[in-house]
Structure 1
Amino acid sequence: MRPSPLLFLLLLSAAAVPAELRISLCECDSPPFVEFDVRGNRPRGGLIKDIGDQVARQMGYTPRYVVLSRKRMDLALTRGDTDLNCFFNPGWTALADQLEWTEETVPQIERLLMPAEAARRVHGLDDLHGLRLGLIHGFHYPTLEPLIAAGQIVPVYERDHLSNFRLLERGAVDAVVSADLQIAHYLHGRDKGAPVAVADFVLSSTPTYCVVPKASPIDAAAVQRAVHTLREQGVFDRLLNQYRGPHLRAPARTESP
């Protein structure tokens, strides 16, 4: 029996549509890492989404984003409920052995934003003694933890980076610790207030990777090839430079934990 023309067209159309790649995003991520729509459940842009789009396109897939809380992220990955996450680090999960890891995509770099006059005097950890630093509840700060334990700096915890930037504007903290991209995003939208500047050193630099659950049907080797190709083409560096913009210059040094 010959298939009907309608059935043939339907089969042809289905074959032309790339398969979906389920990519997880954390609802805890803020701009410019992820930008959500007004309802907060659909990503419309941001660095992590851009990386996922590029990897999916390189592999010939259509990306479908699954927005999860941080607590649900590990379970969804290890059960294979999602196929990919492209902003992950082994130190952020207790289940690293259940995931396949690619080579590095982009680093997460933490720096200090503070009043401009003070920033000119800060060049390393020794210059932070006695300062009140805006930090985030639940985040780990290996470089700062010895100073906190010794009482050499005063941590002031908030729920998110925007709240910390507001503390800085009010003078309630002496500096804010944040990812360089979040600082750049804040500075881009800031049009008034006392002068602020980024201290001339990196507090921490953490590599991030794409991960594929071992429970996922997606070929981890294919993801690695896609990441390697994009890295060789300079795609990740261009994305970083796009989101950093003109507000951040290269630091003089990087601290080690």
Structure 2
Amino acid sequence: MGERERLLLYCEQIRAGSQVMPLSLRCCLLLLVACLSGPAWAESRLLFAYGKHDGPPHAFMSERAPRELQGGILFDIGMEIGRRLEVRVGFVEVPRPRLPSWLEEGKVHAHCQLNPEWVDVPQQLLWSHELFSTADRFYLAGSRSENVHRHEDLKGMRLGAIRGYTYSEPLTRLVNSGAVQREDASSTQQLVQMLVRGRIEALLTDEIVADYLLSLQPYDIAGAPLEDARQGRFCAYSAKAPIPFERFNEVVRAMIDEGRVREIINQYR
């Protein structure tokens, strides 16, 4: 017999007048409520961060105001974590430059599309197991993509990149020396439009995002053989979150081991 069944039986005995113990019905009911109420954090709300920089398929926004996150990889991962933790979840839009400080301050609790190398002081945050890995890849118009095998092949180009992102050391050197002119945008959608209109000669972005967008429109754009870097994606977690990090990370590990994270990603390919 489980704990809940024992408490129910005990309450019934008291209601029927059985003198099992000198305990009031009120105390019994309080014990029952405590037992049935679920985890200690069940009434908490776990806030996941997202931003315009994530873009589809990581983040899909509602079309009507107020624009809110309503789907995508980040949404699905957050909802699955919340379901397994038996806790309510919410999604908060955060500008990319403010994301680390908002996590540190507990204004948001998690963002599952980060890498410790992208944060100035990663020790201020807690980091989950690696959810998945993906590459930042170069995309060019037409057959020009076939000619980019090394970073030096980008010399003289205007390169579109996501605002606020730090890329590989070889690329950073080329940009700092002026050999490559970097043009920033807030999303991959904007970068694709800049490339189509000839404002840039190449763009650099997450291959999951680019491949999804290019599958929707017949643009004459292709990925180059060169990857800027292949890195893991993790959940950055706030030490001020309402749920213990150890429990959060257990759920993330289970989702990885069961193939659930990969299933979510594959839905958008």
Q: TM-score, normalised by structure 2?
A: 0.76
Question: Which residues of structure 2 form unaligned runs of 5+?
Answer: 1-23
Are 1:117 and 2:139 matched, yes or no? no
- Is the 8 Å Cα contact of residues 123 and 200 (structure 1) preserved in structure 2? yes
Residue correspondence of structure 1 range 75-86 to structure 2 within 5 A: 75-86=101-112
Over 3 Å counting, the alpha-carbon distance change for 1:219 and 1:185 in structure 2 is: same
Q: 1:104 matched to which residue of 2?
A: 130
Any conservation in 2 of the 1:24–1:68 contact (CA below 8 Å)?
no
Three-state SS of the structure 1 residue aligned to 2:160 is strand
Select the residue among 176, 189, 211 that pairs with 2:203. Answer: 176
The residue correspondences of 1:181-220 to structure 2 (distance < 5 A) are 181-191=208-218, 193=219, 195-220=220-245
Q: Which amino acid aligns with 1:133?
A: L
Paired positions, count:
236
Corresponding residue for residue 126 of structure 1: 152
Q: Aligned with 2:131: secondary structure?
A: strand
Find the partner of 1:148 among 175, 178, 184. 175
Give the TM-score normalised by the residue count of structure 1. Answer: 0.79
The 3 A distance-change label for structure 1 pair 2 and 21 is same
Task: Return 107-116 or 225-234, whichever deviates more.
Answer: 107-116
Given that 1:78 and 1:95 are in contact with CA atoms closer than 8 Å, whether structure 2 keeps it comes out as no
- Once the two structures are overlaid, the 10-residue window that deviates more, 226-235 or 95-104, is 95-104
Partner letter of residue 233 of structure 2?
T
C-alpha deviation, 1:72, in angstroms: 4.1
Partner Cα distance (1:24, 1:146) in 2: 34
Give the corresponding residue for 2:46: 22
- 1:198 shift after superposition: 1.0
Q: What is residue 68 of structure 2 aligned with on the other side?
A: 42
> In the aligned structure 1, how far is the partner of 2:44 from the partner of 2:191?
38
| In structure 2, distance between residues paired with 1:184 and 1:166 | 15
Partner of 1:58: 84
Please identify the structure whose Cα radius of gyration is greater: 2
Name 1:241's counterpart in structure 2: 266
Match of 2:129, SS state, is strand
Q: Residues 126 and 216 of structure 1: is their aligned pair in 2 closer, same or farther, counting only changes over 3 Å?
A: same
Identity value in percent:
22
Moved more, 75-84 or 48-57: 75-84
Distance in 2 between the 1:234 and 1:216 partners?
26
Secondary structure at the counterpart of residue 228 of structure 1: helix
Pair 242,69 (structure 1): closer, same or farther in 2 beyond 3 Å: same
